[in-house]
Amino acid sequence: MDYQTLIAHYKRIIEISQQLTATYDLTALLRKIVSAAKELINTEAAAILLLDEASGQLRFAMSTNINFSEMEEIIVPLEGSIAGWIVTHGEPRVIENARQTSGHFQGVDHRISFETRNLLGVPMRTHQRVIGVVQAVNKRSNLSFTDEDIMTLQTLASQAAIAIENARLFQQSDFIAEMVHELRTPLSALKASTILLQHPNLPESKRADVITTMRNETERLIDLTSDFLDIARLESGRISINVAPCELYPLVAESVEIVQPQANQKHINIYVDDVNPIVRIDRSKTKQVILNLLTNAIKYNRPKGSIHVRMQPLEDNGDDFVQLTVADTGYGIAKEHQKNMFQKFYRVPTTENIERGTGLGLAICKHIVEAHGGRIWLESQEGVGSEFHITLPLHRPPAEDN
């Protein structure tokens, strides 16, 4: 690069860095980073993979050539992948001839019908740790990656890492504001109740009502605080998932037993498939997911309705999973609400006032299932019922030597 071009190039890097630090919207930020990487390194495509600390896996967070639904399904293991190598070594890596190098990206290419010829990947590092990888793929005009390219992408990646960390902190402070807001409603109700109770002329019958309100609001506070704690721990990656082989049927049966009294109150029957796959899961966290889905299937069911828990094997992304489904005969969820179901604090407006809830349960489920490398989704028809599906990794016993 001649002197003039070099100066123009660095000016552009500074300009992009300034744009990055001004963005708090994580998706918009990630989009800016990949398009900057593609432009500065002069490649056909670029992508960002972020590390999920709970599962120790990398996930595509943004790419110039893979769409969202495809990205969501691609999980890149730390071991045996180029991006994983970059994260664990904390160093850049150039793959000049991808066709002759074995790597996970061949599987990804196959899935998205794209051919990786060559690739430059660099770690995204904040002061304490590596949070992901930026990759520039297929240098244009059949050129090779230069030392200049490596330096440029490293500069971009370090700016990007800081901007991502800032956006995450910003989201966190948003969450705190929302949490405080949610706590205020039951607290105000409790305050109003204590004032009522102090009133000398309060009739005895009214007194009982006030005490019931106080008990309900206290229970709501307890639900809220324990859900807040769970989600905050899951989001910050402070919770680790400890997987071990586990029989699924007894776990489902135990969970059904816990919710049975609640189901009995509404005369709801619960049926469970008589199969017992062995999965590799964190037992207590998965139990929390199953309990949550069952509780919702009761809460949002009609009286005398039913619930089916189905378990069936499934191959997904080349790995073996079990698909566990909780199907109910309840209100169902209208199409326009379905996409929001796993967002924090989201509650369907039509059922909001019928049942007590925090709107955090499904967001917690999503975190836990994804930390296992699984997926969660739903199918639902208004007035007919809903099916919530999760996938859990099957346990594959080591092959016996004989």
331 binds ligand ADP (CB under 6 A): yes
Shorter beta-carbon distance to ligand ADP: residue 138 or 358 = 358
**Looking at the DSSP assignment, which residues form a beta bridge with residue 111?**
none
Contact predicate 306/329, CB 8 Å: yes
CA atoms 79, 85, 87, 88: torsion sign: positive
- Write out the binding residues for ligand ADP, residues 336-375 only, by CB under 6 A: 341, 346-348, 351, 357-363
333 binds ligand ADP (CB under 6 A): yes
Q: How far is the CB of 213 from ligand ADP (least distance, A)?
A: 19
Strands 244-247 and 57-63, bridge-based pairing: unpaired
138 binds ligand ADP (CB under 6 A): no
Q: How far is the CB of 277 from ligand ADP (least distance, A)?
A: 23
DSSP at 398: P
376 binds ligand ADP (CB under 6 A): no
Shorter beta-carbon distance to ligand ADP: residue 116 or 301 = 301
How far CA 116 is from CA of 43, 84, 95, 113, in Å, comes to 11, 17, 10, 10
**Pick from 256, 386, 394, 395: which binds ligand ADP (CB under 6 A)?**
386
305 binds ligand ADP (CB under 6 A): no
Q: How far is the CB of 172 from ligand ADP (least distance, A)?
A: 19
Rounded CA separation 31/234 (Å): 25
Instruction: Say how many residues touch ligand ADP, by CB under 6 A.
Output: 21
The H-assigned helical ranges of 42-198 are 68-73, 82-89, 105-112, 147-198
Rounded CA separation 194/210 (Å): 8
224 binds ligand ADP (CB under 6 A): no
**Interface map 113-132 toward ligand ADP (x if CB under 6 A):** --------------------
Q: How far is the CB of 367 from ligand ADP (least distance, A)?
A: 12
Alpha carbon distance, N-terminus to C-terminus of the chain: 62
Shorter beta-carbon distance to ligand ADP: residue 147 or 336 = 336
Q: How far is the CB of 69 from ligand ADP (least distance, A)?
A: 21
Contact predicate 282/243, CB 8 Å: yes
299 contacts: CB under 8 Å, gap ≥ 6: 355, 357
DSSP at 274: S
55 binds ligand ADP (CB under 6 A): no
Residues forming the site for ligand ADP (CB under 6 A): 292, 296-297, 300, 328, 330-331, 333, 341, 346-348, 351, 357-363, 386
